[in-house]
Structure 1
């Protein structure tokens, strides 16, 4: 009964507009005060311990690297390079946008950031080529979600820090699912463009233009190769790679392309610190909730109940997906991860599910959450950039839900997709 009241109170705080960190912290602190023998100092100790994590230090560096690349207008270089050859087919510019989303996914780790950068660089071009406005907004919103799956992924860093899984293995596990999702989305965009006659095509691929643009864009294209390659080979840890990525991005934007001034770098650093602070605040609030669940025996009780009713692994995965999809309507990705990880991972482990595979399933659900109203952040980002009502962006995204749900089911019930590179 006490836990039900706590959940109702947290939902009420969120409903009146309280930040998720405030809601989590207040409810968890209140419950801690009701537990006998637990001093109030535990609140500060638990919160500090949750962010005093070496793997979690990769978060601010990857955010900084992604923000620098976005501020430096790298999207324009990639669009020009890829578009040289891809725009010779029907829907070429839309396909170019999706390929650019894959590129930014491999450097930013952020869904919203990728959508914002690519949307700002492509919406006007898509409009000039007479793509429907809601289709244009939808492909950027959907493509931006790949930033959560393709490494470096902030979602995997959070899960690894909370659950204690190796972040490098989580990154590697996200490569094939991310590429599969990208292939599905490219196929959907190509099919829709051909069926409805979207876009203006050129007569042939401009390989000469591609060769001319490659030297200039080559340094940017090399960045995701270096990041993923360093992690896969084990040459650098994810935290070390994050620092390398930030330095590399700064050199590109300041010295190679000269697209960002020193003053601009300071602005990017300030924005990155603010974004990191918000993420860490949610992590601290979630850690308090996790402490309460463990101390009150809720986590152990749920595990015992699930194993007691002989729920099979496939049934649990179906239920977990349904829970995460519903939560995605009301919570952002960070809040979803920090709230559900302490509860769902012990159950998955007890049922014999590989925890790395389950982490990929969770991130796939978070991807869909960024597209799910009424909270889906990518919908609001593209609504602002494309100057469309949110419901119009949702209508554009609707055909892609089937693609994302198909990908989720394949990831869920074919573990080899996630684990083949480990």
Structure 2
């Protein structure tokens, strides 16, 4: 009955359009009052203790680094570099947009931030080149999901904290899966462009143009090298890497590119602070929500229920995947990771899955939620940029959704994709 009150009140609050962080907190409070077994202070204590974590300091710093890079002229340079590689191919602009999102994902750690930074430039440019607006917007929305798969990734930080798993290992493990997802999106973009006759630019790519564009974008391209190289080389922790990323991109924007002005910093800091506050509220309330689940032994009951259906590892992992895809449609990624990790991680490890590999499976699963309504945050950002309705955009995104799900299945059943660089 306690579980019914907890999930029932949460679902009702979501239906009433209550923000997810507030809905989680109110559902927890209602359950505490109903059960009478916990003091009301439990929620307040959870809000404080859940964010009292050194690794979580990486979250606000990666958010700030993404905000700075988004305003510092990075998107233009990354696109120019990508365009010199594929711009003259069939569907060149669409493929260049996906590559730009992949590059930007290695900087921002956020899906919506990637869509906002790249979409503002690429969607109008693609429409001007004759691309259908629905397709152009869907391309950027789908590729924006790579923001949480390709490291650095805020959801990976959250999973690492909740699942007591190495964040550095998760970052390394996310590289190849992110590339695989990006390639799957590129394949569909090429097929669709071929069908519609979307030609590339008439100018041929030259080594000189490639080198010049690469040199112009070098400061942006160095960010993931510094972050991942420093972590994997044992020079600094992921949290320290986030701080270094902020200092580096601030210096690059002000001194190297000179498109970032001192007067822009207050607005950037305010935006980053608002985003951080939203994330931390969700982390706090989701943690309290998750502790109620643990106290009521709901994860154990769910695990037993799943194992009663089948003991076949393939069936169990497919059930978990299906549940995660459904959860991603309705719940914020950060909240979902905090709540379901204690439920599914023990099941996955008992099935023989490496915790790092399972973390990648979970992040890719929930990344697909960025393009699936009703939550579909990337769709809302893309809709705001293009002016298209969510309904229209949702139909256009279906082929990209299928491509991402097929890649997810590949990543799930071929652990080597995630664990190759870790030597496991």
Q: Answer whether TM exceeds 0.5 for this pair.
A: yes
Q: How does 1:377-396 map onto structure 2 within 5 Å?
A: 377-396=377-396
Q: Would the alpha carbon gap of residues 317 and 259 (structure 1) be closer, same or farther in structure 2, given more than 3 Å must change? A: same
Q: Which residue does the alignment assign to 1:264?
A: 264
Whole-Å separation in 2 of the counterparts to 1:199 and 1:298: 54
- How far 1:313 moved relative to its partner? 2.2
- How far 1:376 moved relative to its partner? 0.5
Unaligned runs of 5+ in 2: none
Report the RMSD for the aligned CA atoms in angstroms.
1.7
Q: Would the alpha carbon gap of residues 127 and 7 (structure 1) be closer, same or farther in structure 2, given more than 3 Å must change? A: same
Deviations, residues 213-234 of structure 1 (Å, cap 9, x unaligned):
3332211111122112222222
Whole-Å separation in 1 of the counterparts to 2:144 and 2:305: 38
SS at match of 2:66: helix
- How far 1:43 moved relative to its partner? 2.5
Is the CA contact (8 Å cut-off) linking 1:129 and 1:199 kept in structure 2? no
SS at match of 2:421: coil
**Aligned pairs, how many?**
422
Tell me the TM-score normalised to structure 1 length.
0.95
Whole-Å separation in 1 of the counterparts to 2:175 and 2:157: 14
Unaligned runs of 5+ in 1: none
Deviations, residues 269-299 of structure 1 (Å, cap 9, x unaligned):
1111110111111111111111111112222
Q: Which residue does the alignment assign to 1:99?
A: 99
Q: Which residue does the alignment assign to 2:341?
A: 341
Q: How does 1:66-85 map onto structure 2 within 5 Å?
A: 66-85=66-85
- How far 1:104 moved relative to its partner? 0.5
Q: How does 1:215-254 map onto structure 2 within 5 Å?
A: 215-254=215-254
Whole-Å separation in 2 of the counterparts to 1:381 and 1:41: 37
- How far 1:410 moved relative to its partner? 0.7
Deviations, residues 203-260 of structure 1 (Å, cap 9, x unaligned):
4213323333333221111112211222222222110110000111101111111111
Is the CA contact (8 Å cut-off) linking 1:89 and 1:202 kept in structure 2? no
Q: Which residue does the alignment assign to 1:120?
A: 120
Is the CA contact (8 Å cut-off) linking 2:2 and 2:35 kept in structure 1? no
Q: Which residue does the alignment assign to 1:152?
A: 152
Is the CA contact (8 Å cut-off) linking 2:91 and 2:200 kept in structure 1? yes
SS at match of 2:131: coil
Whole-Å separation in 1 of the counterparts to 2:374 and 2:154: 23
SS at match of 1:329: helix
Is the CA contact (8 Å cut-off) linking 1:129 and 1:200 kept in structure 2? no
Deviations, residues 146-194 of structure 1 (Å, cap 9, x unaligned):
1111100111011111221111111111111111111221222222222
Is the CA contact (8 Å cut-off) linking 2:9 and 2:30 kept in structure 1? no
The yes-or-no answer on 1:53 pairing with 2:48 is no
SS at match of 1:104: helix
- How far 1:36 moved relative to its partner? 6.0
